[in-house]
């Protein structure tokens, strides 16, 4: 539909999945958010479920009430005065964090540590928390300025919802600096692990993965892994030694979170290796390692979190162009009314579940 012909009725209230505290999320009718100068109102067409939000809900990390969801793609239905560059009808993907670019951390490119970055700029109401698990979101002015990307014609909303998670992985890959020919072990082949597999393959690495779910191991091979192992039964250390002249992995990425994984990463990597913690996002998670494996083994252990504004355009192009086959990762598309089932599938994956996409404009009782 041409933008000039775009018209939509904005309801006074909308459906949203409201976090109530103590792990409880309830779908409720709440006011549709109002916008101010420089802001956008976006009708949410697709929002991916991210484990970071699930941890906030499961561990009660932030005070209720809130509406989570930050892998958001939709349509601009209203633009506030001075909201430059966007008009109703524009199809967009929305980032919920944007840094100031001027502070101590931004000048060192540690954007996720910027005070402005930590201030969420997208909300469905209540304390801003992303808001994508709702039918409409308010996008605040500083996000409109630098944190909204237009979706090209022919690209689906569910595909566009991958731009933010791809950005987070792309940022981590840049920090890891893989060299062509290096052996990279990726632990966990959920949606994030599989995106890492795609990106590391593009970087020219030899990708080895571990995953306990058979369907995900099969998909891992399709996404670029040379070998996908079940860590419950395979001798991962021996497999890595066999392909690295006895050394072990050059780089290990923890794309899953469970007790003991970091210790396995040190044992499966060579002296001098890099070990990236990517999925360890809760203070409730604790890691115990042999000090000698780091000190005497000269390994580097580091973390990477959230997205980079500098990689926003690149991540969008990787998704929109089809260079990364993110369509392969979608297993379920569910309406807001089934959000509890969606969370359960994401938290307790069966043999088929992978990326769960919420479609808030659908509604079933």
pLDDT for 285: 87
Kindly state whether residue 317 falls inside one of the protein's structural domains. no
Distant-in-sequence, close-in-space partners of 41: CB < 8 Å, separation ≥ 6: 10, 32, 33, 35, 76, 77, 78, 79, 136, 137, 138, 139
Kindly state whether residue 14 falls inside one of the protein's structural domains. yes
Helix locations, the chain, DSSP H: 51-58, 104-107, 115-118, 141-146, 157-160, 163-176, 191-202, 214-222, 236-243, 261-268, 291-295, 312-320, 339-347
Give me the mean pLDDT over the 340-351 stretch: 92
Check residue 29 and report its DSSP letter: E
**281 and 191 housed in the same domain:** yes
**9 and 144 housed in the same domain:** yes
User: Residue 179: which CATH number?
Assistant: 3.40.50.720
Kindly state whether residue 313 falls inside one of the protein's structural domains. no
Give me the mean pLDDT over the 37-56 stretch: 96
Higher pLDDT, 6 or 311: 311
User: Among residues 362, 339, 358, which one has the least CA distance to residue 17?
Assistant: 339
Classify 243 in phi/psi space as left (phi over 0), alpha (psi -120 to 50) or beta.
alpha
**9 and 154 housed in the same domain:** yes
Contact 78, 40 (CB under 8 A): yes
Higher pLDDT, 365 or 235: 235
Give me the domain span that covers residue 223.
167-303
Kindly state whether residue 364 falls inside one of the protein's structural domains. no
Number of domains in the chain: 2
Kindly state whether residue 314 falls inside one of the protein's structural domains. no
CA atoms of 225 and 208, how far apart (whole Å): 6
Kindly state whether residue 241 falls inside one of the protein's structural domains. yes
The pTM of the full predicted model, rounded to 2 decimals, is 0.96
Is residue 299 pLDDT above 90, yes or no? yes
pLDDT for 363: 62
User: Residue 118: which CATH number?
Assistant: 3.90.180.10
**11 and 151 housed in the same domain:** yes
Contact 229, 249 (CB under 8 A): no
Kindly state whether residue 311 falls inside one of the protein's structural domains. no
**227 and 284 housed in the same domain:** yes
**40 and 122 housed in the same domain:** yes
pLDDT for 3: 60
pLDDT tens profile 117-172:
999 999 999 999 999 999 999 999 999 999 999 999 999 999 999 999 999 999 99
282: pLDDT confidence band, cut at 50, 70 and 90?
confident
Query: Across the chain, what does the average pLDDT equal?
Result: 95
pLDDT for 241: 98
**191 and 270 housed in the same domain:** yes
Kindly state whether residue 308 falls inside one of the protein's structural domains. no
pLDDT for 365: 46
Contact 234, 216 (CB under 8 A): no
The total of other beta-carbon atoms located within 10 Å of residue 123's CB is 20
CA atoms of 205 and 161, how far apart (whole Å): 26
């Amino acid at each position: 539909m041409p933008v000039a012909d775009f018209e939509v009725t904005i309801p006074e209230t909308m459906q949203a999945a409201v976090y109530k505290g103590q792990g409880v999320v309830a779908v409720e009718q709440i006011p549709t958010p109002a916008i101010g100068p420089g802001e956008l109102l976006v009708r949410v067409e697709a929002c991916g479920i991210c484990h970071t939000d699930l941890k906030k809900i499961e561990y009660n990390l932030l005070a209720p009430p809130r509406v989570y969801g930050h892998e958001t793609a939709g349509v601009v239905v209203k633009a506030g005065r001075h909201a430059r560059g966007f008009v109703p009808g524009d199809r967009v993907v929305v980032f919920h964090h944007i840094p100031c670019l001027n502070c101590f951390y931004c000048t060192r490119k540690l954007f996720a540590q910027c005070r402005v970055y930590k201030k969420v700029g997208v909300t469905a109401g209540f304390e801003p928390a992303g808001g994508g698990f709702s039918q409409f979101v308010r996008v605040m002015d500083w996000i409109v300025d630098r944190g909204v990307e237009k979706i090209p014609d022919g690209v689906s909303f569910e595909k566009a919802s991958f731009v933010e998670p791809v950005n987070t992985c792309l940022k981590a890959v840049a920090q890891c600096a893989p060299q062509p020919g290096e052996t990279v072990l990726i632990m966990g082949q959920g949606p994030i692990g599989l995106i890492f597999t795609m990106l590391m393959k593009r970087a020219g690495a030899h990708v080895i993965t571990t995953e306990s779910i058979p369907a995900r191991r099969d998909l891992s091979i399709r996404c670029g892994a040379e070998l996908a192992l079940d860590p419950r039964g395979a001798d991962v250390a021996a497999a890595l030694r066999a392909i690295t002249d006895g050394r072990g992995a050059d780089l290990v990425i923890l794309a899953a979170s469970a007790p003991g994984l970091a210790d396995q990463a040190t044992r499966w990597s060579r002296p001098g290796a890099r070990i990236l913690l990517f999925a360890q996002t809760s203070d409730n998670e604790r890691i115990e390692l042999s000090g000698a494996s780091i000190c005497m083994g000269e390994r580097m252990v580091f973390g990477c979190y959230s997205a980079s504004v500098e990689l926003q355009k690149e991540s969008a192009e990787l998704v929109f162009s089809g260079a990364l086959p993110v369509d392969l990762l979608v297993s379920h598309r569910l309406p807001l009314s089934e959000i509890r089932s969606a969370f359960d599938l994401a938290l307790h994956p069966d043999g088929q579940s992978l990326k769960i996409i919420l479609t808030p404009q659908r509604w079933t009782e």
